Structure 1
């Protein structure tokens, strides 16, 4: 009977690792839109924009460029607002303004 109780716990433990959010890669630049695809960055983006005294509207969230400084939560720092377009540079490459 004990074996049946252990199986659900093992399955739950294995599945919980898939639920963890991804973090940005340290020392890379990311568009806000890219960060939103990478992980749960909405609130961090808003905090970084507020700290830089920038608006937190949709354009500023998606078209601003951020630096991934790392840490346990993938901390980010605001760099600049791209205005026209912020381009996803691809895996392991910096995003950039265009």
Structure 2
């Protein structure tokens, strides 16, 4: 029984890691799109992350605002709406600037 439980936990951990990788890659693609097509800089994106925890700012000055989820312990899972958001990557919770900034910092590694 213990061995079966260990195998099941291992399988769940693998699935979680794959889901995180998908979210991270999607976030990086979104960030690249904002940088390449919309004229944002990496510093712009980090500033947005540090100044809002909402998907959109009140005046819609930015068409895309990254929203990061602290329920994933700051692992950089990013919710993004304008770039075709993946709600399934986010379980809800307060924003996590550190996790967001870490994800966006990887965006410009082209």
TM-score, scaled to structure 1: 0.34
* Rg comparison, structure with higher value: 1
The structure with more strand, counted as a fraction of residues:
1
TM-score, scaled to structure 2: 0.31
